[in-house]
Homo-oligomer: A and B are copies of this chain.
Amino acid sequence: MAGKTLDELAKHVGGSVVGNGSIVIKGVSTLDKAGPDEITFLTNKKYVPQLKTTKAGAVITAEALETETPLLVAADPYYALMQIVVLLHGHRKHKKVGISKRASIAQSAKVGDNCNIHDFATISDNTRIGANCQIYPGAFVGPNVQIGDDCIIYSNAVIYDESVVGDRVIIHANASVGQDGFGFATHEGVHHKIPQIGRSILEDDVEIGACSVIECGTLDDTVIGKGSKIGDAVAIGHGTIVGPYCLLVPQVGVAGSTVLGHHCVLGGQVGVVGHIKIGNMVRIGAQAGVSGNVPDGATIMGSPAIDAGKAKRAYSLIGHLPDMRKRLLKLEKQADQSRAEK
A residues with CB within 8 A of B: 28-30, 32-33, 40, 44, 76, 78-79, 81-82, 85-86, 89-92, 95, 102, 104, 118-120, 122, 124-125, 136-138, 140, 142-143, 154-156, 158, 160-161, 170, 172-176, 179-180, 182, 184-187, 189-195, 197, 207, 209-213, 215, 219-220, 227, 229, 231-233, 235, 237, 245, 247, 249-251, 253, 255, 263, 268-269, 271, 273, 275, 286-287, 289, 291, 302-304, 306, 310-311, 313-322, 324-325, 327-328, 331-332, 334-335, 338-339
Q: What residues on B are CB-neighbors of A275 within 8 Å?
A: 44
Q: What residues on B are CB-neighbors of A212 within 8 Å?
A: 211
Q: What residues on B are CB-neighbors of A40 within 8 Å?
A: 219
Q: What residues on B are CB-neighbors of A82 within 8 Å?
A: 184-185, 187, 192-194
Chosen A-B contacts, 29 in total, with CB atoms closer than 8 Å, are A28-B219, A29-B220, A44-B275, A79-B185, A119-B122, A138-B140, A140-B156, A142-B155, A175-B211, A176-B210, A182-B229, A182-B249, A189-B245, A191-B227, A211-B211, A211-B213, A213-B250, A231-B235, A235-B251, A249-B255, A250-B253, A251-B253, A251-B271, A286-B289, A306-B318, A318-B318, A324-B328, A328-B328, A328-B331
The one of B85, B122, B174, B271 that contacts A118, using a Cβ cutoff of 8 Å: B122
Smallest CB separation, A144 vs chain B (Å): 11
Q: What residues on B are CB-neighbors of A138 within 8 Å?
A: 120, 122, 138, 140, 156
Q: What residues on B are CB-neighbors of A211 within 8 Å?
A: 174-176, 211-213, 233
Q: What residues on B are CB-neighbors of A335 within 8 Å?
A: 331, 334-335
* Known contacts A137-B122, A174-B174, A92 near B195 by CB under 8 Å: yes
* Known contacts A138-B138, A158-B155, A158-B173, A320 near B316 by CB under 8 Å: no
A80 to B118, CA, bound (A): 45
The one of B29, B158, B291, B306 that contacts A210, using a Cβ cutoff of 8 Å: B158
The one of B176, B231, B314 that contacts A172, using a Cβ cutoff of 8 Å: B176
Q: What residues on B are CB-neighbors of A95 within 8 Å?
A: 124-125, 143
B86 touches A195 (CB 8 A): yes
Q: What residues on B are CB-neighbors of A287 within 8 Å?
A: 271, 289, 303
The one of B102, B184, B251, B320 that contacts A314, using a Cβ cutoff of 8 Å: B320
A63 to B195, CA, bound (A): 24
Smallest CB separation, A222 vs chain B (Å): 12
A303 to B125, CA, bound (A): 47
A319 touches B332 (CB 8 A): no
A268 to B272, CA, bound (A): 9
A143 to B321, CA, bound (A): 55
Smallest CB separation, A116 vs chain B (Å): 13
A179 touches B184 (CB 8 A): no
The one of B81, B213, B220 that contacts A30, using a Cβ cutoff of 8 Å: B220
Q: What residues on B are CB-neighbors of A245 within 8 Å?
A: 189-191
Smallest CB separation, A84 vs chain B (Å): 10
Q: What residues on B are CB-neighbors of A210 within 8 Å?
A: 158, 176, 179, 213
A317 touches B325 (CB 8 A): yes
B182 touches A250 (CB 8 A): yes
B317 touches A321 (CB 8 A): yes
B229 touches A81 (CB 8 A): no
